[in-house]
Amino acid sequence: MLLAIDMGNTRVNAAVYEGANLIGHWGMPAQRNLDLSSFAVVFGDMLSSFRLGFKNIDSVIISSVVPSNDDGLKNFCTQYLNCKPLFINHTNIGMKIAVDNPPEVGADRLVVSFAAYKKYKRSLIVIDLGTAITFDCIDNDGVYLGGPIAPGIGISSDALFYRAEKLFSIEIQKPERVIGRNTTECVQSGIFHGYVGLIDHVVAGIKQEMNSDPYILATGGWASLLSGESKCIHSVDEMLLLDGLRDIYSEIR
């Protein structure tokens, strides 16, 4: 069985696959500088929830944007799973990368771009609404073109509450009206509608530069919240990155 791990800045997500079939998926808040024993506990509990153990995993593929956790992951895979993990980067993703400095591109951006093109076989913009909001552009030939990065909803809202003494942390959700009638509604409206506007405006600019009609696919933790209000998003795929890791592994093993 294959263990696919998405090591992000805000969350760690993982899934177990048997061939093309998903056995189960799981997630938790991210932590930094985790060591061998920490990963043993984390993934031991995850596998137990799927009624599996370490002996059931024979392959691991990883997308990581948290370098401080990479050594712990490698040691865990070697000592507990008896396998060498495959870390995805610009050298092994299996697609052409047309940017100035390919090593700078995050593994997560490359994986979702690969997965989206494999599924749709056309030009795309993949909007990953996580810690940051990334717009990944892929042309009709499957070439990765890069794309804008903006602060994510969590980063912006945390900064607002930290900097403004009279504001307080609230749950981010779609408000009933644009003109809020209390502080909670006002903040919800500003963040929700502000980010919908950001998405639609950035996508419009990208489409002009791409000179094509790309399919707009959203993923990440905030995708479901914002996609219904956006005028440009065609669909949401919350499993895009993990399924992409599975597909990459099946092609290069």
**CA-to-CA dists, residue 139 to 105, 188, 205, 244, angstroms:** 17, 35, 15, 18
| Cβ burial, residue 45 (10 Å; 0-12/13-18/19+) | exposed
User: Which one is catalytic: 6, 108, 128, 237?
Assistant: 108
The secondary structure of residue 97, as a DSSP letter, is B
Active-site residue 108, yes or no?
yes
| Cβ burial, residue 187 (10 Å; 0-12/13-18/19+) | buried
Task: Let me know: does 2 contact 249? Beta carbons within 8 Å.
Answer: yes
| Residue owning tokens 């440009």 | 232
Looking at 101-222, list the stretches that DSSP marks H as alpha helix, in order from N- to C-terminal side. Answer: 107-120, 153-163, 183-210
Round to whole Å and give the CA distance between 57 and 41.
15
Task: Let me know: does 69 contact 32? Beta carbons within 8 Å.
Answer: yes
Catalytically active residues are 108
